[in-house]
Amino acid sequence: MPQQLRLLDDQRQPTLVASAELVMRESRRARRLFLQLVPPHTLELVVPVGTRPREVQAFVEEHRDWIDRARQHVRTRYLGDRELLPSRIRLRAIDLEVHVRYRKSATGRARSRVVGNELHVETVHADHRDARAVLRAWLLDEARAHLKPWVWREAEAIGRLPKAVQVRLQRTRWGSCSGHGNISINASALFLERPVVRYLLIHELCHLFSLNHSRRFWRMVGRFEPDYRALDAKLANAWTEVPLWISAA
Alpha helices, DSSP H, located in the chain: 53-62, 64-78, 131-158, 194-206, 215-224, 228-236, 244-247
**CA proximity to 26, closest of 50, 54, 59, 55:** 50
Give residue-wise pLDDT tens across range 115-130: 999 999 999 999 898 9
d(CA 247, CA 245): 6
List, in order of start, the domains of the chain with CATH numbers.
6-78 (no CATH), 88-247 (3.30.2010.10)
Flag the least confident range among 54-68, 87-101, 136-150, 186-200.
54-68
Q: Is the pLDDT of residue 62 over 70?
A: yes
Cα separation values, 182 from 145, 168, 198, Å: 18, 13, 17
pLDDT in tens, 1-40: 222 333 322 222 333 333 336 788 888 878 889 888 776 6
Beta pairing partners, 46: 25, 34
Q: What is the DSSP string of 65-122?
A: HHHHHHHHHHHHHHTTTTT---SEEEEGGGTEEEEEEEEE-SSS--EEEEETTEEEEE
- Per the prediction, the chain carries an average pLDDT of 85
Secondary structure (3-state) at 22 = strand
Q: Is the pLDDT of residue 108 over 80?
A: yes
237: exposed, middle or buried (Cβ count in 10 Å: 0-12, 13-18, 19+): exposed
Cα–Cα distance measured from residue 51 to residue 154, given in angstroms and rounded to the nearest whole number: 41
82: CB partners within 8 A, 6+ apart? 244, 248
Whether the CB-CB separation of 105 and 124 falls below 8 Å is answered with: yes
| CB neighbours of residue 208 within 10 Å | 19
What is d(CA 235, CA 249) in angstroms, rounded to the nearest whole number?
22
